[in-house]
Structure 1
Amino acid sequence: MKDSNVFLIKDFVDNNITESTVKVETTKLVAKFQEDIKKLDDDDFIEIMISCFIPDIYRDNGKKEKLYTKLSEVIVGEWWKRLGGEFIIPTKKSGTEDVELINGNISVVCDAKIFRLGRSQKAPNVKDFLKLASVKTWMDNLVKRYSQNGKIQKAIGGMVTYSSLHEWEGESEVYLECTNKDTPVVMLPYEILALLLKYKSKFKVRDLMQMWDYEKLFNNATKSKVKYWKVIDGFLVDLLDISEDNYYKEIQSYRESIIISVKEYEKIISKEIDDNINEIISKLNSFEKIEEVREYAKESLDSFVNKQHYDYIDRIKKFRKY
């Protein structure tokens, strides 16, 4: 696992914008990033894809986080293209998918999920992960867009890509949603995307798209994580023409690489802590009088203890007026 791959997206973001950048040229940066990743071989690309986590040191909903998220969508699109398909990242976000995955006149609407490693929950809320009504809207809007241009395109379902480190432990409504025959949505973690890319010579994209034929795949909708993965894993074992034992060994190998990348992310957080401590020490050493130290301590504790209260006042002044 190369450090340069683990942090490739982060380095791209950090080298091109700051939180104080007045206007982020997202379209230009996305195009530049696309050209950069086209040059990578599949092995390097896989390491980048399975290491895709929003850096915890980024400001929540800040400019860096938003660009990082957009670039992760490019990664999913490029993955599909390397399999042999085409992709489109819609510029209009309202009522549209993150990425349209295309094979001829058939499309899948994809929601590319990435998360912070330090988020407060093991798994996200189901409603934040998947809304079947939204997927159905995306599918309908996609068909309509093509129809308005005189083309016929079939949307066969949705896909959610995500990190399995953020998956649910047992039964969940998410598996019920992902086994719904009316709106087929496949959820696949990035290590399975990696495995599909590794064995891309063994199948055609049209064969992979049979995974959305839920009438054949699932007898009934289920909340069971075990039942969902038994069906999906079984389909993929047959598609890739490898033994079940080798399939799970490959998945485990990718997960071991993911844990290596997690350790690297922990290091940048630890470095941030060390830098902050050194800055505090340097500031304390600059004081000559005890009164200065007391004033510094008062201001620091005030900003820490009362941060939420100051935020309340700022929001009241900003929003609660006529």
Structure 2
Amino acid sequence: MDLCNFKFITEDAIIRRRYWIDEIVKLSGHFVNDSSRVENEIIDEVKKSGSQALLDHLRLCTAIPESYDHDSSEEKLYSKYTDALISECFKYLGLNSIVLTERADAADVEVVCDSYSFVADAKVFRLSRTAKNQKDFKVQAMDGWRNTKDFAMVVCPIYQLPTKSSQIYQQAILRNVCVFTYTHLAVLIRYSAIATTEDSKNLLGEIFKSVSLLNPSKDSVQYWVNINRTMLSYDSRIAELWSDEKSATTEGIAVSKKMAIEFLSSERTRMLMMTKDEAVSALIKMHKIDSRIDQINKVTDNNILSLK
């Protein structure tokens, strides 16, 4: 991949990205065990490479690989990978964080520190995904899962968020849920390297408070101006980091688009080279015809009427 004009997305970052796309395919099988293995691998990477490992992930993790089938074990494990990633980011900022893997009706990450607590969830979508709706971002659900925690946070790809009027922002303000992005989180990681742990924790706390103090509105501009100003006004040194991560995000999107298009183009070429029999077999497999027939054949009356 041509990186001659890139400053932040390095060859090592892309190698790391390709490794993780393949690693999740290899690991996906037993969901709970594999989730723990993913989390442990990220922990090991951070121990070896420090914040650079987190930044590489944050800049390139935002899109589900097109090579993963819809609703596949790989797709589900990828979601847990991003949860593990943001959990490690919160730890790096000096907070106590844990990834929950057992329950489906709870937030995926719980975080606490001396002055506040929150639950968090990492959202990712395919680049080819079209219209997103408010349910995709789980703002209402996060409020319910918050329980006794002070706040909730949903970390999203910056390019998938509504840029105009949206109920997502109104709900977030009303329900004390901070809609955040991987880019903003990367800025916090960068800031933690030049500031104290207390500064990092205090800034995150200020971000949560700023959302709770907003007048409820669907206006995306009001929401993001508030988040951005809160961060930029906290410390003058953040402005340079902000500019860097803005450029890194542009580079990351370009890399993600290129990788996705390369895969889809190769799939198109593979399909064009299929024989008729291969194409028919692939269609049957794609629509899960055989497994659906098997499931239909298993249907009975459950012997309920024989119970006397």
1:113 aligns with 2:107: no
Partner of residue 202, structure 2: 206
Q: Give the match's secondary structure for 1:179.
A: helix
Unaligned stretches of 5+ in structure 2?
1-8, 302-308
SS of 2:87 mapped into structure 1: helix
* 216, 223, 235: which one aligns with 2:218: 223
Paired position in structure 2 for 1:300: 279
Match of 2:179, SS?
strand
2:176 pairs with 1:166: no
Report if the CA contact (8 A) 1:9-1:71 is conserved. no
Residue pairs, 1:1-322, within 5 angstroms: 1-6=9-14, 8=16, 10-12=18-20, 14-15=22-23, 17-18=25-26, 23=30, 25-26=33-34, 27-52=36-61, 53-104=63-114, 106-121=116-131, 124-132=132-140, 134-140=141-147, 143=148, 155-180=149-174, 183-200=175-192, 201-202=194-195, 203-214=199-210, 217-218=213-214, 220-242=215-237, 246=240, 249-266=243-260, 268-270=262-264, 272-273=266-267, 276=270, 280=274, 296-297=275-276, 300-301=279-280, 304=283, 308=287, 310=289, 314=293, 317=296, 321-322=300-301
TM-score computed with the length of structure 2 as normaliser:
0.79
Partner of 1:291: none
Measured in 2, the distance between the counterparts of 1:119 and 1:216 equals 31
Contact 2:94–2:201 under 8 Å retained in 1: yes
- Provide the C-alpha distance between the structure 2 equivalents of 1:67 and 1:309, rounded to a whole number of angstroms: 21
d(CA) in 1 for partners of 2:222, 2:24:
44
Instruction: Work out the CA distance in 2 between the residues paired with 1:215 and 1:41.
Output: 30
Alpha-carbon RMSD across the aligned residues, in angstroms, is 3.2
Cα offset, 1:37, TM superposition: 3.1
Is the 2:210–2:227 contact (alpha carbons within 8 Å) kept by the matching residues of 1?
A: no
Indicate how the Cα distance of structure 1 residues 206 and 17 shifts in structure 2: closer, same or farther if over 3 A, else same.
same
Cα shift at 1:15: 3.7
Report the secondary structure of 1:94's partner residue. Answer: coil
Secondary structure, aligned partner of 1:57: coil
The alpha-carbon deviation at position 302 of structure 1 amounts to: 7.5
Question: For the Cα contact (< 8 Å) 1:14–1:64, is it kept in 2?
Answer: no
What is the TM-score when the length of structure 1 is the normalising length? 0.76
SS at 1:231 equivalent: helix
The structure that has the greater radius of gyration is: 1
Contact 1:99–1:110 under 8 Å retained in 2:
yes
The residue type paired with residue 233 of structure 2 is: D
CA–CA separation in structure 2 for the residues paired with 1:45 and 1:68? 16
Instruction: For residue 64 of structure 2, give the secondary structure of its aligned residue in structure 1.
Output: coil
Q: CA deviation at 1:189?
A: 1.0
Shift of the alpha carbon at 1:135? 2.1
- The percent of aligned pairs where both chains have the same amino acid is 20
Unmatched runs of 5 consecutive residues or more in structure 1: 144-154, 281-295
